[in-house]
Structure 1
Amino acid sequence: MSSVRICLDAGHVGSRYNQSPVVKTYYESAMVWKLHLKLKAQLEARGFEVMTTRVNIDTNLGVYERGTASKGCDVFLSLHSNACGTESVDYPVVYRAYDNKNNVDTLALKIAKKVGELMGTAQAGRTATRKNSSGGEYYGVLRGARAVGTPYYMLIEHSFHTNTKATKWLSEDANLDKLAVAEADILAEFFGMESSTTEKTAIMGKAQATAQQMALFCRSKNSTPQLTSCSLEQLAEMFIEEGEAEGVRGDVAFAQSLHETGYFKFGGIVLPSQDNYAGIGALNGNATGQAASFPDPRTGVRAQIQHLKAYASTEALVNACVDPRFSLVARGVAPYVEWLGAADNPQGRGWAVPGAGYGANIVKLLGQIMAQETPQAPAEPENDGYPEGTPDWQKAGFEALVERGIINSPDVWKAKFDQPIKVGEILAIIGRM
């Protein structure tokens, strides 16, 4: 197919619906809302046209109406996690058309099994059907999708939130990312779309470059960085430290700063004294200095790290928020550096607007930083105990005396190699020989 439309439905309304009895911080409605946004981004990156049944988590739309919202689409997916009264039950299940319309079981089973593999569930993923008393689809969303003629419709239960292990797994943002990628890949393969995306650079994670590489690379481009309250080396360390605190790659943030400030030459809207290394609040058309200012370099770095986390993740901040524009960001819309430019983001949002190529430029700088060679400390010469400059012929003769047992305290004598020797000592050695 040249164009495939998919309708995604986040099961249930609100952020606190269907609390897990075993992990009290988990709510099914909150999980599937995050998952359906992540899946939407992954599907769009593969060329699908994607719509959602609701634009807001609190929109109260009936289940049948959510199914009928898929009219004109090729696929309808309703995302859920299941529940039962037994802790040991742990498997994903995909409910599909009761009559296996369009042989949908083939697709549904692939999804179910893959979800089970990713989650490491106790029982394997499977498919199922369920009818109501009149012989139609039991679930209202599936009944609605069938009514409007949607060819493929499914309800995906991502295991059971009554199982502790499964619920904890679903509580991790990074795991939801894995689900979104896997499910998008299966759909892409099934419909002949691009089955995998070009390798992208995650913003969240541990820095791969060192602070030394970051500072050295910057100095190779600008030997006199315009920093007012710290050295370049200290600033690089701050990026690593603040990044680790929030789970953001500090080397990615540093590369972004190089791009934004021209290797800390500044010269644009932001002044060096503002300790703002990423142009936070520096909007198109602003006058010089009309941007966010921070009291010290660490606070400026922290604000940038937090702003990146706002784009890359939906997880809460660890440190108190110092980013003045954090609340303005649509959380989690740009998990990859390449998506920081709105023009390159499947959702049309990003740090830079329009920003075509913005993320690619940062990735290029990051690659150059990681390729930066750092000087190696000279190897310590092997200390053999002899004074520096002792000729080899003297060492050889001395070692022969040690080997033959004539010298029985070699360390004492090595220390005297550059000192005068007494006649008595010479006679004693000759006597032993």
Structure 2
Amino acid sequence: MKIIIDSGHGGKDSGASGFGVKEKDLNLVYARLLAVKLENYNIEVDRSLINDHYYSPDELTDKIKKSGADICISCHNNAANGAARGFEVIHSIHSQGTLAKLTAEEVRKTGFPVRRVFSRESTAPSRVGQDYYYIIRGTYPTVETIIVEFGFMDNGEDFKLLTDPAWQDRLTAAVAAGIDKYINSSIALKTRIQGNSILLPEQLKAALKAVNSAANTSIVDTYYRIAPVYGIKADLAFLQAVHETNWLRFTGVVKPEQNNFAGLGATGPSNPGLFFPTAEAGVEAHIQHLYAYAATTSIPEGRTLYDKRFHLVRRGSVTYWEDLNGKWAVPGIGYGERIVELQRTVAERYPLPDKPVTPEIPSTPHWAKVCHDELRKAGLLLNDHIDTIDQPATKGVVFCLVNNLRKELIKNE
């Protein structure tokens, strides 16, 4: 499990303010402390967004999605009318809010007031069914993002505690404890459909050949070329195809000429499912069906919709592989778990070879090093200049060298 922490605002965007303090500065304090607390739980933390830089919404969400993190914690502090106070957590409208609730519960134990845990749907006509807050909307469903509002900076009572090092330590420790509880819960142990692959194509090709020596392994490359376009994990998508086709041996009702690698529409001998003109079209239809479950937006611009069952899926209804049970396969008990287990098995049986160690090539001494060392030994150069030997000499160095030579000449007269 990997967590990326966003320090919220930065650069020209200073955020809210209270009693002369800028939100971006206070956020940095909380983000840095939270990183330490999470690392104390042996959780992998990405600190690359803990800084005072400004990122556009697209830049920020793109960095979060490409980080490989499972969870993003965006650290903020609130401001309203000076009267509101308390800790808040915002989660996606597509989640049950378990992470947010566990975090709030731990903060409540500290005695700091907890105002609310909530989600908010966008009010824009073009974003119906999407999250209001761009950092959550732009990272869903690749990363589970929550916005943590530690308190209200413009409220005197909150401000006093928010700027107290003891309370800063207490609040970040509570948030970290809530996150740790979530990570160790069954929900966090599920595997997202969208995200980055763990396995490399070479590992899957080796596994495929070991089971089905007659298989054309180029199909693996097709999955790795198409799946990232939709943000789908290519390794798990291919392993689902392996599961559905018995390692591309097509021993069920679906036949090789259908190019139907995911059993789309297949219900039995009398209905073997959809046919696709090429293997590439069949792979893309498979990816599109996963995308229909995992995402709420239209397919990427410029792509052809091959999946004729795309519109039969309730969009965004399944985030995790394990939750495909009873949806992709009926009754499908353990369906998603078996695909994830295949990923673990391939990783164990077909590890990547260690990178060869490149022997160090002895460096060739600098052409002027001998002269430098002899002048040092003779006392004509008072300091070591080997690290800057290619840089122009300052007037001071030249003056000292000439003066030392003058002294030597006088001494020898």
Which bracket does the TM-score occupy, shorter chain normalised? 0.3 to 0.5
What's the TM-score, normalizing by structure 1? 0.44
> Which has the higher Rg, Structure 1 or Structure 2?
1
